Amino acid sequence: MRAIQIVDTTGPESALELGEVPEPEAAHMMTPGSGVLIDVEAAGVSFPELLQTRGEYQLKPPMPFVPGSEVAGVVREVQGEAAVAPGDRVAGFCVLGGFAEVAAAPTHFTFPLPDSLDAAQGAGLVLNYHTAYFSLVTRGRLRSGETVLVHGAAGGVGTATIQVAKGLGARTVAIVSSDEKEAVAREAGADAVLRSDGDWREAAKEASEGGVDLIVDPVGGDRFTDSLRALGEGGRLVVVGFTAGSIPEVKVNRLLLNNVEVIGAGWGAYVLSKPELTLEIGAELAKLIDSGAVRPIVGARFPLERAADALLALDRREATGKVVLEVSA
Ligand SMILES: NC(=O)c1ccc[n+]([C@@H]2O[C@H](COP(=O)([O-])OP(=O)(O)OC[C@H]3O[C@@H](n4cnc5c(N)ncnc54)[C@H](OP(=O)(O)O)[C@@H]3O)[C@@H](O)[C@H]2O)c1
């Protein structure tokens, strides 16, 4: 089969090679003896793949390896108990191996893809939307009627978080850096959109009657202290990622003075050993797809052979919504 491999750690321009490799077995490496083999139509592109081209991601398989953590396509074969069968359209989280014509995913990470979503949308459904639900609900304890502020709101995690929060009855405030990204955040359903280079902290407080209840932050960097100041009493700031590059430090007196919390949300590490939680989150997201709240926003689409350009879009802060590789028609 055709696949993209990471062959060294020289970065996205030079570390990727398109070639022929053997097809995987249905049994997934994380769940020996069971798994789902998927004929891939579209593969989602995310930060871990970018970091893997530089050897900077925690998961470091021996090289060369096929990157790609999630796909959408059609089931070819199932091993073990699964809620899907050969011929079904599915979205699957495969951890590695997604930038290929055929990929394997664990059974509990493979979800039916409804006809209302195309393959490119399916390729953006697992990582970002499960992370969004996990950050908002499992870790952030979101309640209907609360105000949620989302950093990096036009990105993959950001658009997903806006849609899930809205679907669960929250009011959403989006923080973005450009006009184009403002339009994407509005398309995702944000109630208010503020600029990261303006006085968003005061505007967010005004938009939420004195202070935001919950902040989801995949960006980190300098804005972290302002995020703490934008929270209302009892507010929660959920740490999801550090696309701005630097890892913020917290002066913990701020937590005490304002009675606020900083909460970590590491989806992959948490759910890996809890298949029942993944199935629960999948069922909640299926309801939000049915209600129309969840509609993944696909930004740039590239053919498989242009995987490097897809990773560079993320690296250059140009990506909006989900960046996708179109693998087969
Ligand atoms: N904790 C978890 O379980 C988990 C799960 C999934 C993803 N993540 C992490 O979440 C982060 C976001 O992922 P994503 O897929 O949403 O990425 P994305 O689509 O590229 O969006 C990231 C956003 O970060 C903002 N940003 C600010 N400074 C940036 C910079 N120097 N370079 C790039 N972007 C910058 C950009 O928004 P503006 O231009 O509007 O500022 C951009 O839209 C990543 O770090 C990823 O690894 C964590």
DSSP characters for 16-79?
A: EEEEE-PPPPSSBTTBTT-EEEEEEEEEEE-HHHHHHTTT-SS--PPSSB---SEEEEEEEEEE
Centre of ligand 1 to C-alpha 25, Å, is 32
Q: Is 76 helix (H, G, I), strand (E, B) or coil?
A: strand
**Tell me, what's the pLDDT at 118?**
97
**Tell me, what's the pLDDT at 209?**
85
For ligand 1, mutation pick of 53, 184, 200, 219 (most atoms within 8 Å of CB): 219
**Tell me, what's the pLDDT at 210?**
87
**Tell me, what's the pLDDT at 329?**
60
Residue 268 Cβ contacting ligand 1 at under 6 Å: yes
Of the CA atoms within 13 Å of residue 53, those in its CB half-sphere come to 24
CB 158 within 8 A of CB 296: no
Centre of ligand 1 to C-alpha 177, Å, is 12
**Tell me, what's the pLDDT at 212?**
98
Consecutive H or E run containing 282: helix 275-290
**Tell me, what's the pLDDT at 179?**
97
**Tell me, what's the pLDDT at 18?**
98
User: Low-confidence residues of the chain, pLDDT below 50?
Assistant: none
CA distance 103 to 74: 10
Residue nearest to atom 29 of ligand 1 (CA): 244
CB 172 within 8 A of CB 191: yes
Centre of ligand 1 to C-alpha 218, Å, is 5
For ligand 1, mutation pick of 243, 267, 315 (most atoms within 8 Å of CB): 243
Consecutive H or E run containing 234: strand 231-239
Residue 124 Cβ contacting ligand 1 at under 6 Å: no
Maximal C-alpha separation, the chain: 59
Nearest partner of 220 among 192, 250, 198, judged by Cα: 250
Please give the DSSP secondary-structure letter assigned to residue 62.
Answer: P
CA distance 130 to 244: 22
CB 289 within 8 A of CB 113: no
CA distance 257 to 188: 34
pTM over 0.95: yes
Residue 156 Cβ contacting ligand 1 at under 6 Å: yes
| Bridge partner residues of 324 (DSSP) | 44, 301
For ligand 1, mutation pick of 317, 320, 324 (most atoms within 8 Å of CB): 317
